[in-house]
Structure 1
């Protein structure tokens, strides 16, 4: 067809490269850039593409195709296919129950978090190192009236740093979101099952992080004695981290 229109493939040229050269306007930019240095070569060339632009070649090809037998054969083939009646696929999504979806996603997400060192394990090590440093800075400040500012500064630093470091799981969660978007479009599960599964699978890691880092800081600084005070401190730390993790998930899903 290209030869009939006036664009035969030159000898020693790859046919696919020749066809691409006929319809790709990027080659015009290359030809314009090398116009001065290749002027004599272009004038001696027998390739018609060297003498016209790609847009002109496309118009010529389209005009010739609309009058060719290939066009009518293709139209006839399309009409034959359109007349074939087939069954419409009923896309009902996943046949699994919501509970099964949530359980499967929870197990898969937990395994993924366990194997990915940068998801929670690296953050746990960083939290422990930082809380040890904080504990040495505010070591045994006591519970006297004069140490109120020191205890407040210690708590603010711990809560601020631990919540700020939740951004460390952002890259791993973004990769997980790519899988979620593809599987959701295929109808395997919905948003609710994914959110519940991700929250439950992250729960043990967040509890471990908060209890270990909170325990180190609490007893090194020697905050108010008593189990209830200790649990209150750790639970507040866990609540703060959970909120920031949720915000991180919301931002990553945009």
Structure 2
């Protein structure tokens, strides 16, 4: 439900997005907010992971299975669910906003959204493993995501980040990675 409401809500804001070069800032805003929404939308999985952790520790201490088996199984089980969430978000955003009406460009966009949601879910799983309880885990996740967003390059250019914080730019999940120019042009034109 969150993906559907978020997708339609975001699409309604950017429905009149300009298609010319003047709309580049609007497209960057769309993509930045999409990243923020998608990464923060997986925080609700924290209580599930915290609850499963008790069972995992008990079972792994008895030698029933190891932690890597749990991680692989968890990822495989969540792949279709996260794909559905990605599609529920991507379909309204992509088509209502009026990004490139090509099926290939939409498939690329949906694939990137799916990878973002999968990555965010993995981050929540990792942070829940090092958190003693829900309140600490929620605080840790919010702090990490906030720091990643701050050092992504959207607010402070890489050149202006103090040297001792520069590593955060490179590990930020929000940072725009190098996307082949042809793929980016295909998606936004």
TM-score by length of 2: 0.65
Q: Summarize deviations over 1:143-190 as a string: whole Å, max 9, x none.
A: 222222112111111121111111111011110111111111111111
TM-superposed CA distance for 1:142, in Å, is 4.5
**Does residue 1:169 correspond to 2:45, yes or no?**
yes
Looking at structure 2, the residues matched to 128 and 163 of structure 1 have their Cα atoms a distance apart, in angstroms, of 15
User: Which of 136, 143, 157 pairs up with 2:12?
Assistant: 136
Q: Summarize deviations over 1:193-221 as a string: whole Å, max 9, x none.
A: 11110000000110000011111100110
User: Which of 174, 198, 204 pairs up with 2:80?
Assistant: 204
Alignment correspondent of 1:194: 70
Alignment correspondent of 1:244: 120
TM-superposed CA distance for 1:140, in Å, is 4.0
Tell me if the contact between 1:142 and 1:223 (Cα under 8 Å) persists in the aligned partners: no
Looking at structure 1, the residues matched to 16 and 35 of structure 2 have their Cα atoms a distance apart, in angstroms, of 19
Looking at structure 2, the residues matched to 184 and 241 of structure 1 have their Cα atoms a distance apart, in angstroms, of 27
Looking at structure 1, the residues matched to 103 and 63 of structure 2 have their Cα atoms a distance apart, in angstroms, of 48
Give the number of the structure whose alpha-carbon radius of gyration is greater.
Answer: 1
Looking at structure 2, the residues matched to 213 and 158 of structure 1 have their Cα atoms a distance apart, in angstroms, of 9
Looking at structure 2, the residues matched to 233 and 143 of structure 1 have their Cα atoms a distance apart, in angstroms, of 17
* Structure 2 unaligned blocks of 5 or more: 131-189
Alignment correspondent of 2:129: 253
Alignment correspondent of 2:25: 149
Looking at structure 2, the residues matched to 194 and 218 of structure 1 have their Cα atoms a distance apart, in angstroms, of 34
Could you say what secondary structure the match of 1:224 adopts? Answer: coil
What does 1:1-254 align with in structure 2 at a 5 Å threshold?
125-254=1-130
Looking at structure 1, the residues matched to 79 and 16 of structure 2 have their Cα atoms a distance apart, in angstroms, of 31
Moved over 3 A (4+): none
TM-score by length of 1: 0.49
Tell me if the contact between 2:86 and 2:113 (Cα under 8 Å) persists in the aligned partners: yes
Alignment correspondent of 2:179: none
